[in-house]
């Protein structure tokens, strides 16, 4: 066979393979293939949060991380992706259906054993990038991650699928902190605050403040806080990281704003 014709056939075969390696979708949204605009259009959510968002639907609790919410150590991944690309999706079904109700081909499921899971939990990974957390045969959590074909866009990020399961039950207690400034801050300053926890979590906490305005980073590990108009005030900043059940981590700190 002519070597040029052979090269064309090989390229065509690779193209077919790529098209056949479909990403697992949640409501028409696929990690590394969809964007925040798709979420807004299809789900009518996340219109005002560009880094990450969390919301409740009739049958599901949902968390979505976008590329703008990746941490500094994941900058290479963020640079490779279009702005506001969906990175992963966590879903907690409120009804906790039996695993069999998902109608998955069990031949395509691989058992994974994240060390953080409670002994009653069993987790599985499907070939198309779906991570499933079960407890006593009930589906507790579904996490949609990149399939093996797309995952190299974010080198290393999807190597341990078990880390995408949000569960703190295995070895409590855990701790969490915020890097709040210890000195008084000039009013009008835009503060960048970071949270850290001694657990492996791919998602960030929900932040609240009693004054000021969070202008970026909600539901990630880094927020930007606007202190305009808060001269001589004390801001209470709180962060809460949930595992989707009854367990959560929380922490808070106080920031003094200097007089005018």
* pLDDT attached to residue 97: 93
Q: Judge: domain 176-256, CATH 2.60.40.
A: yes
3-state SS class at 195: strand
* pLDDT attached to residue 117: 66
Encode pLDDT of 4-18 as tens digits.
544 443 343 344 344
* pLDDT attached to residue 151: 94
- Integer Rg of the chain from CA: 21
pLDDT along the chain (260 residues), means of 10: 46 40 84 97 95 95 95 89 95 92 87 72 90 91 94 92 76 80 95 87 91 94 95 95 74 94
Q: List the one residue out of 64, 29, 247, 245 whose CA is nearest residue 140.
A: 245
Tracing tokens 């098209």 back to the chain, one arrives at 19
Domain ranges of the chain: 21-164, 176-256
Residue 2: which residues within 8 A CB-CB, separation 6 or more? none
DSSP 152: G
Encode pLDDT of 138-167 as tens digits.
999 999 999 999 999 999 999 989 889 887
Check: CB of residue 71 under 8 Å from CB of residue 221: yes
* pLDDT attached to residue 171: 55
Q: Give the Cα separation of 125 and 145 in Å (integer).
A: 10
């Amino acid at each position: 066979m002519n070597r040029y014709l052979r090269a064309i056939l090989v390229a065509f075969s690779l193209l077919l393979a790529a098209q056949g390696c479909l990403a697992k979708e949640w409501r028409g949204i696929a990690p590394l293939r969809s964007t925040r605009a798709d979420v807004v259009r299809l789900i009518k959510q996340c219109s005002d949060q560009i880094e990450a968002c969390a919301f409740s639907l009739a049958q599901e609790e949902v968390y979505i991380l976008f590329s703008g919410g990746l941490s500094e150590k994941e900058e290479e991944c963020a640079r490779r992706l279009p702005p506001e690309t969906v990175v992963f999706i966590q879903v907690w079904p409120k009804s906790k259906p039996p695993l069999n109700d998902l109608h998955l081909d069990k031949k395509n499921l691989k058992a994974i054993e994240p060390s953080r899971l409670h002994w009653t939990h069993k987790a599985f990974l499907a070939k198309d990038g779906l991570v499933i957390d079960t407890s006593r045969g009930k589906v507790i959590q579904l996490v949609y991650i990149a399939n093996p074909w797309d995952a190299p866009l974010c080198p290393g990020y999807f190597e341990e699928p078990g880390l995408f399961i949000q569960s703190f039950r295995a070895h409590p207690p855990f701790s969490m902190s915020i890097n709040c400034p210890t000195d008084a801050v000039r009013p009008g300053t835009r503060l960048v605050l970071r949270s850290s926890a001694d657990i492996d979590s791919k998602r960030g906490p929900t932040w609240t403040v009693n004054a000021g305005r969070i202008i970026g980073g909600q539901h990630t590990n880094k927020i930007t806080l606007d202190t305009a108009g808060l001269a001589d005030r004390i801001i209470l900043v709180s962060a809460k990281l949930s595992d989707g059940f009854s367990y959560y981590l929380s922490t808070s700190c106080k920031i003094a704003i200097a007089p005018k």
